[in-house]
């Protein structure tokens, strides 16, 4: 069943192309606390080492922890698996993107929220044609 998901979907784990590229060029660098596995190998169009992640679950870019995010975007050459990485006190733990769920932000007066839209302050003039 997992193989069929990988053949017919791009959002679940890895695709067949990623599987082939990982098998051919990939060198495992490490794994984060969510089960995402990080690889490097080959070069990109700018001559840098290509880096990629195979997600443990759905492909959601916000699920990459801060330390791995810095490594993925070539901000650091040392991956968190090869150093004693400790998150800074201002770095928050991962929270999934709530867009499209009941936990999404809905301002007062929107169609899916209760309440009435706040009155405008009068500092805005609507555009009218020919004016």
pLDDT value for 65: 85
User: For 34-69, what is each residue's pLDDT tens digit?
Assistant: 888 899 887 778 888 888 888 887 777 888 888 888
User: For 70-95, what is each residue's pLDDT tens digit?
Assistant: 888 999 888 888 888 787 888 887 77
**Spatial distance between the Cα atoms of 72 and 51, rounded to a whole number of angstroms:** 6
**Spatial distance between the Cα atoms of 98 and 118, rounded to a whole number of angstroms:** 24
| Mean pLDDT estimate for the chain | 79
Q: Starting from the edge strand earliest in sequence, which strands make up the sheet with 27-31, in order? A: 27-31, 37-43, 49-54
pLDDT value for 1: 59
CB burial readout 60-72, b (16+ within 10 A) else e: eeebbbbbbebbb
**Spatial distance between the Cα atoms of 109 and 126, rounded to a whole number of angstroms:** 20
Q: What is the mean pLDDT of residues 108-121?
A: 78
**Spatial distance between the Cα atoms of 124 and 117, rounded to a whole number of angstroms:** 16
State the pLDDT confidence band at 128, using cuts at 50, 70 and 90. confident
Report the predicted TM-score, pTM, of the whole model to 2 decimal places.
0.63
CA dihedral 73, 77, 80, 85 (to 10 degrees): -110
21 has pLDDT over 60: no
20 has pLDDT over 80: no
């Amino acid at each position: 069943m997992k193989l069929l998901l990988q053949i017919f979907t791009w959002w679940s784990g890895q695709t067949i192309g990623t599987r082939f590229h990982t098998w051919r060029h990939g060198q495992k660098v490490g794994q984060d606390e969510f089960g995402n596995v990080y690889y490097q190998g080959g070069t990109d169009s700018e001559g840098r080492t290509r880096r990629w992640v195979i997600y443990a679950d759905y492909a959601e870019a916000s699920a990459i922890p801060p330390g791995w995010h810095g490594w993925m975007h070539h901000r650091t050459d040392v991956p968190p698996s090869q150093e004693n990485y400790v998150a800074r006190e201002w770095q928050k733990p991962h929270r999934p993107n709530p867009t499209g769920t009941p936990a999404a932000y809905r301002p007062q007066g929107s169609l899916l929220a209760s309440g009435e839209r706040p009155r405008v302050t009068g500092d805005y003039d609507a555009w009218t044609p020919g004016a």
